């Protein structure tokens, strides 16, 4: 019985990739096109600052385009079988993040925008500045983070 339990634990903890950590950068929101209440196309311009950390996604982009929705995070199916794993972000929080983004459209005020884990999926390797997001989360400090994979 112990061997079966050990095999199960090894399967659960090592068979699924883990995406942890995250980063953000300051951006100016150029446009936000709502395709439905949860689907959107967001275009931001990273604020250029020689001293600032360049995020792996936005670092070299003049414009950064996010095709987003609120849906199942890749890899999140496992949390339905393991009840102690909480859902990362909720629909209400996704909608709050979109409302915050709307307030920044066309403004000269920068916003903290980033990702958690592997928060985006690059849609075309030839154009890494166009990505997909599965959920947004608005943090208490006003920063907005994207998720793609369950972390």
Let me know if residue 45 belongs to a domain: yes
For the chain, residues with pLDDT lower than 70 are 1-22, 50-55, 72-89, 150-151
Let me know if residue 2 belongs to a domain: no
85-94 pLDDT, tens digit per residue, is: 455 557 888 9
Question: Whole-angstrom Cα distance, residue 96 to residue 107?
Answer: 18
Let me know if residue 3 belongs to a domain: no
Strand order, beta sheet including 64-68: 121-122, 130-133, 64-68, 40-46, 22-34, 111-116, 144-147, 135-138
Predicted TM-score of the model (pTM):
0.76
Considering Cα of 75, then 12, then 90, then 122, what sign does the dihedral take? Answer: negative
Residue 92 confidence (pLDDT): 87
Q: Which of 2, 30, 3 minimizes the C-alpha distance to 129?
A: 30
Let me know if residue 85 belongs to a domain: yes
Give the total number of structural domains in the chain. 1
Residues of the domain holding 112: 17-147
H-helix segments, 42-139: 91-104
Let me know if residue 58 belongs to a domain: yes
């Amino acid at each position: 019985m112990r061997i079966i339990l050990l095999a199960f634990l090894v399967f659960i903890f090592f068979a699924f990739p883990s995406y942890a950590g995250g980063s953000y950068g300051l951006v100016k929101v150029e446009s936000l096109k709502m395709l439905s209440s949860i689907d959107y196309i967001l275009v931001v311009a990273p604020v250029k600052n020689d001293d600032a950390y360049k995020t792996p996604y936005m670092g070299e982009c003049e414009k950064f385009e996010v095709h987003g929705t609120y849906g199942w995070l890749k890899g999140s199916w496992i949390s339905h079988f393991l009840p102690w794993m909480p859902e990362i972000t909720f629909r209400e929080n996704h909608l709050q993040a979109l409302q915050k983004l709307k307030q920044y459209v066309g403004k000269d005020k920068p916003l903290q925008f980033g990702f958690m884990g592997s928060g985006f999926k690059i849609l075309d390797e030839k154009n890494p500045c166009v990505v997909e997001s599965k959920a947004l989360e608005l943090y208490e400090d006003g920063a907005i983070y994207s998720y793609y994979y369950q972390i």
